[in-house]
Structure 1
């Protein structure tokens, strides 16, 4: 099997040349277009999740010999969560080469976070099956390099940190209010405002899940608080 020019370019962005190109094709095939002779990527997604998990756990274990389990766990979660996988997928243009059924494509499937995350994991499994763990590890550590370097900052749960700050200062839990929503159902954009009992507030606007925008609003308010203390 020979890759199309589009998939060959994607393979270059990925940093791996496939000896078995059919594995890459399967990794990029969503269930909405699969057939009996054209399987989807769900089984590969299952395997890729474990390949990514092992690689990240190993990287964290070896990069900071003094880190406790309690310190490594949130770092690990930040590196392997769906939002991170989807962000990496966007950086390498994975959505552009996803094979989707017409209805899924029309509903914005190429931009959906869950689809991108699942396909990213499936692609990692395809590399593992094609060339082994060392090859998969090399690609993962290259694509995740910047996130590994900033994992302490990325692993901070802003909503939890803000709630703990409010509690320590005798206030109730922060209140998150959706102040606006726009865009189509498949790609909504939210504006979220977070308020504290003392009147301080901050807002954030963006596409994604409401929780991710709440995290952004919490981060903004924490930054505001840190700037006045």
Structure 2
């Protein structure tokens, strides 16, 4: 039996006017037709905007690509799941029998979705300002420790470090096509990882740029 959400509301620093909203936010689709799927959708959008706004103001010199990578690192599933575990969110979830038996309360995807749903429930209860304050509280440590120099490694480096951490083989790059005149060429490069059966194509004005673009697209595929 799941625990009462009272301690959770204390942990997130917000008291609900309508307690039914947090009940929905904590209910997985396996537990019934009234669940948090729609809340996840709304919470994801609110989270993305708040983090984008915070990064825009915190890093005025960063370009669009750099800001996008910073945001992606903050709102990705593993980051949200880490926040959920810090809140011990799993023990408050309402899961169906199958998910309970398979340990759904500790599954990263379920925990990450629940964080997004929780954000939406606060928005529905009190509006944007309260949901923004919740997000800033939840992400306070991550935002405080954020370093643009360490976070914005080039895609090939980040992909290599990710695979090394997973003890997997490094990606392979190969030129697919080269078009254009000698001083204005466009390269298309394939980046592929045998163990994951994944490959992406990247284009650029040099082989290096094409490889970076292919690596970035492959990283996005892994994160999705």
Change (3 A) 1:81 1:157: farther
The one of 31, 34, 39 aligned to 1:33: 31
The one of 77, 102, 106 aligned to 2:97: 102
User: Partners of 1:142 and 1:163 in 2: how far apart?
Assistant: 30
Partner of 1:10: 8
The one of 114, 117, 120 aligned to 2:112: 117
The one of 42, 48, 51 aligned to 1:47: 42
Query: Given that residues 77 and 155 in structure 1 are in contact (C-alpha distance below 8 angstroms), is that contact kept between their aligned partners in structure 2?
Result: no
Query: Given that residues 81 and 111 in structure 2 are in contact (C-alpha distance below 8 angstroms), is that contact kept between their aligned partners in structure 1?
Result: yes
Partner of 1:76: 71
TM-score, normalised by the number of residues in structure 2: 0.68
User: How do residues 99-178 of structure 1 correspond to structure 2 at under 5 angstroms?
Assistant: 99-151=94-146, 152=148, 155-156=151-152, 160-161=156-157
Q: CA deviation at 1:150?
A: 2.6
Partner of 1:206: none
Structure 1 residue matching 2:167: 3-state secondary structure? strand
Partner of 1:64: 59
Q: Please list every run of 5 or more consecutive structure 2 residues that lacks an aligned counterpart in the other structure.
A: 172-194, 197-224
Query: Given that residues 45 and 119 in structure 1 are in contact (C-alpha distance below 8 angstroms), is that contact kept between their aligned partners in structure 2?
Result: yes
User: Partners of 2:85 and 2:61 in 1: how far apart?
Assistant: 33
Stretch deviating more after TM superposition (81-90 or 121-130): 81-90
Change (3 A) 1:34 1:153: farther
Partner of 1:180: none
Aligned length: 171
User: Partners of 1:146 and 1:101 in 2: how far apart?
Assistant: 33
Q: CA deviation at 1:102?
A: 1.1
Query: Given that residues 3 and 92 in structure 2 are in contact (C-alpha distance below 8 angstroms), is that contact kept between their aligned partners in structure 1?
Result: no
Change (3 A) 1:142 1:34: same
